Each structure stands twice: as structure tokens, then as C-alpha cells.
Amino acid sequence: MSQPDPSGPSGKQKLLNLTLASIAGQVGCLTLVIILGAVFLGLWLDSRLGSRPWWTIGLVLGSIPVSLVVMLFVVRLAVSKINTKTGRPQTTQPEETDLGDNS
């Protein structure tokens, strides 16, 4: 029995799928860490300052935009690495084409 060529289209698709799954896992773990950090820091501040539950609620609500920014940063970094490996240009600017005589 012959094994499929890993450099073929199916091998590249599998590699891309694994890469996307790892990015999703990273984003999920980072989001969990940020939110749990906000909860524990809020609970600690509430216990120290006697302001239960205001610090916890505030930090959890504040962790949502922080989590979104971190998620965007991680995904953009991963996509730029994927584009570099596949040989696609990293610029988002359209390439200029010669449309004729410019005299």
C-alpha cells in the first residue's frame, strides 16, 4: 500500500487545518487565562478592600475588550506566518498593473 504524498494538496490542507486548530486552541486558552486572572484579581481586591463584588465585576467586564485585543493580535500574527510560509505576499495593497500607455 502506498501512503499519500504529504506535499500534495491533501497534505497541505491537513497542515493548514492543524495550524488553524492550534490557533483556535491558543486563542481559547489565552481568553480563559485573561478572564480567570480578572476574576481572581477582582476577588482578591474585593477581600482586601471590602467592596465585594464591585472589583470582580469591573475587572471581568474590563477583561472582555482586553481578551478581544489579544485574540486579534494572536490571529493576525499567526495569519502573517501562514502567509509567509505559503509564499503569498504579506501586503494588503493591490498590485499595480500596466493598463496601457501613460503618456
- Residue 9 domain-assigned? no
Tell me, letter by letter, the H, E, C secondary structure of 5-54: CCCCHHHHHHHHHHHHHHHHHHHHHHHHHHHHHHHHHHHHHHHHHCCCCH
Task: Give average pLDDT by consecutive 10-residue segment, the chain, 103 residues.
Answer: 60 86 93 97 96 94 96 92 69 59 60
What's residue 88's pLDDT? 56
**Considering the domain boundaries, does residue 8 fall inside one?**
no
Q: Total domain count for the chain?
A: 1
Domain that holds residue 69: 19-84
Is there a domain that residue 65 lies in?
yes
In a domain, 96, yes or no: no
Give the contacts of 35 (CB within 8 A, at least 6 positions apart): 60, 63, 67
pLDDT of 45: 96
pTM (two decimals): 0.69
- Whether 57 maps to a domain, the answer reads yes
Q: What pLDDT score does 70 carry?
A: 95
Angle at 86 between CA 28 and CA 31, to 5 degrees: 10
AA identity, residue 55: W
Distance separating alpha carbons of residues 80 and 21, to the nearest angstrom: 16
